[in-house]
């Protein structure tokens, strides 16, 4: 399979190009089978893609009623008295996906899945971790760590998390036959979802992650949470190895902050220090790797074009083509399918 890097002028063009690629894959596979399994990401980068994709679903170009989705990650420890309140918190990734995609669809997906982090009570988790230190190990070479619960864990709460939250999520994905295409973004240090820099690839299909203190602090400083006590300290996330089990992985990234990690991921070694570098191994193993990035994020890739192409990767420059700006997209609801009337 191929490793193709699409260079776009800006985020608006990135959004349209990425949506067209996703729609093409959905259309091709829906002609062959009844259900398409789509992997989804949160973050700013894919929001424009989702707007274009919703238009394509609502126009009938592709069929949303034959799509099942799985998201990458979800917080543990959102404010709320129970799982329902936590899932509906405005900073939850469930809430994000409803606003950015699911609520825009006139025909709903077969089923949507976001990792079940909101089912976990953070206080109970911390209590269990403090009292049962032999039941797990911390993995990772940096500040963000994976909390790997052992098969031999004796603590009832930790056993429940491993069986019903962590293992059950990847098993459900496997039971569908796997993800057809996974949309991902990239963090500032090259991480995917909450698979933080330094967490090993192997054996970590779905992770319970102890967040880096700086990640928590930044969430407060950026206004997502009023104080540290209200901020999540943990998350449930697909691991990189699980993400790249998809048949195709489409990565979207924009802005200068992403330039370094993207270049390292393509021209550097495959290393857990830059989790998206796993895309090289994915390609070598026959996966279809797609980057859709703007010219700011791709500046170093363009500057080292000959080295990138020498690895057998294709660079497709889309900057001279026209496109529709995301803000010009309008959505209407169909009264025949809208239960709100």
Domain count, the chain: 1
The Cα–Cα gap between 260 and 279 comes to 16
Q: How many CB atoms lie within 10 A of CB 117?
A: 30
In a domain, 65, yes or no: yes
pLDDT tens for residues 82-137? 999 999 999 999 999 999 999 999 999 999 999 999 999 999 999 999 999 999 99
Distance CA 3, CA 101 (A): 27
For CA atoms 168, 40, 29, 293, the dihedral sign is negative
CATH number at residue 78: 3.40.50.1360
Residue 56 within a domain = yes
- Domain encompassing residue 154: 3-325
Using alpha carbons, select from 30, 5, 10 the residue that is nearest to residue 181.
30
Is 68 domain-assigned? yes
Structure tokens given for 155: 């603590």
Predicted pLDDT at 334: 52
- 191: Cβ contacts below 8 Å, ≥ 6 apart: 144, 197, 275, 276
Report yes or no on 108 lying in a domain: yes
Instruction: Specify if 339 maps to a domain.
Output: no
Q: With respect to residue 132, please indicate whether it lies within any of the assigned structural domains.
A: yes
Residue 341 confidence (pLDDT): 32
- For 124, how many CA atoms within 13 A lie in the half-sphere containing its CB? 15
Question: Which of these, 101, 87, 94, 92, lies nearest to 71 by C-alpha position?
Answer: 94
Q: What is the pLDDT of residue 335?
A: 44
Q: Give pLDDT < 70 ranges for the chain.
A: 332-341
Chain centroid, CA 126 distance in Å: 26
Quick one: pLDDT at residue 332?
63
Asked if residue 166 is part of any domain, the answer here is yes
pLDDT tens figures, 178-200? 999 999 999 888 999 999 999 99
pLDDT at 333: 57
264 part of a folded domain: yes
């Amino acid at each position: 399979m191929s490793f193709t890097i699409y260079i776009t002028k800006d985020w608006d063009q990135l959004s349209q190009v990425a949506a067209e690629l996703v729609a093409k894959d959905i259309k091709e596979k829906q002609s062959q089978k009844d259900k398409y399994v789509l992997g989804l990401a949160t973050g700013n980068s894919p929001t424009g893609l989702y707007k274009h994709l919703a238009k394509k679903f609502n126009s009938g170009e592709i069929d949303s009623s034959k799509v099942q989705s799985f998201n990458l990650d979800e917080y543990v420890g959102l404010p709320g008295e129970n799982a329902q309140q936590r899932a509906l918190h405005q900073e939850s990734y469930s809430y994000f996906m409803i606003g950015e995609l699911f609520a825009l669809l006139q025909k709903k997906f077969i089923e949507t899945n976001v990792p079940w982090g909101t089912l976990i009570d953070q206080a109970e988790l911390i209590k269990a971790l403090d009292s049962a230190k032999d039941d797990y190990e911390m993995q990772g070479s940096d500040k963000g760590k994976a909390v790997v619960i052992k098969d031999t864990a004796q603590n009832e709460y930790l056993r429940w998390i491993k069986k019903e939250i962590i293992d059950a999520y990847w098993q459900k994905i496997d039971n569908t036959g796997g993800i057809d295409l996974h949309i991902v973004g990239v963090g500032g240090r090259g991480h995917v979802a909450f698979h933080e820099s330094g967490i090993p690839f192997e054996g970590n299909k779905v992770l319970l992650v102890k967040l880096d203190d700086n990640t928590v602090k930044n969430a407060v400083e950026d206004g997502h949470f009023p104080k540290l006590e209200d901020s999540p300290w943990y998350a449930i996330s697909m691991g990189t190895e699980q993400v790249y089990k998809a048949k195709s992985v489409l990565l979207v990234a924009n802005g200068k902050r992403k330039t370094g990690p993207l270049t390292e991921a393509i021209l550097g070694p495959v290393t857990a220090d830059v989790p998206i570098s796993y895309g090289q191994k994915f390609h070598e193993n026959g996966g279809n790797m797609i980057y859709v990035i703007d010219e700011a994020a791709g500046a170093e890739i363009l500057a080292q074009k000959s080295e990138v192409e020498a690895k057998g990767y294709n660079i497709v420059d889309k900057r001279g083509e026209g496109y529709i700006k995301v803000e010009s997209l309008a959505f209407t609801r169909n009264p025949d399918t809208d239960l709100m009337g």
